[in-house]
Copies of this chain bind each other. A is one copy, B any other.
Amino acid sequence: MNIRIVGTGKPKSNFIVEGVEQYRKWLGAFGRVDLEYFPLGGTTAREREQVKEREGRRYLKAADSQDKILLLDAQGEQYSSQEFARMLEKWQNIGVSNLSFFVGGPLGFSNEVLSKGWQKLSLSRMTFTHEMAVLILLEQLFRAFAILGNRPYHY
């Protein structure tokens, strides 16, 4: 299964870049992992809505109808790591070959994106930096494949 993570704003912190690379490498054993980032827009109050709309159009354009798309969203459903793994297994079993996670930027998703009916996934009730969200998602994907493959993963 190929995995694509699409975010807004490339991770800047060195430790995140390193962690993302580590998990991307480890995940390589299970399929291709692509990371794409849209540029960050302005964040002054006046610009916020416009920027969100513009970012939203980029996500809509990036959405391939062949892909299973998930939005990382605070309002989404929370799953345990076991449930997340079983969900991945189910998608594998029904032949999903491309899985896209849209992470969103600091402003969140536009209404147009939110109303597309894509499944929404929440990592926590807490708010994470968007770069931390990418790292956590990759770690959970690796954990899920480890669970499904019955591989030890103690860290």
**Chain A contact residues, CB within 8 Å of chain B:** 12-16, 18-19, 22, 43, 78-81, 84, 106, 123-132, 136, 139-140, 143, 154-155
Contact = CB atoms under 8 A, between A and B. Distances in A.
Contact of A127 (B13, B126, B143): B143
Nearest to A78: B125
A128 B139 contact: yes
Contacts of A140: 126
A136 B139 contact: no
Contacts of A128: 136, 139
Contact of A13 (B124, B132, B155): B155
Contact of A14 (B18, B81, B123, B143): B18
Contacts of A106: 154-155
Nearest to A19: B15
A71 to B, nearest CB: 17
A23 to B, nearest CB: 10
6 nearest A-B residue pairs (beta carbon): A129-B155, A15-B18, A15-B19, A124-B124, A81-B127, A78-B125
Contacts of A16: 15, 19
A26 to B, nearest CB: 11
Q: Which residue, A12, A13, A22, A155, has most C-beta atoms of chain B within 10 A?
A: A155
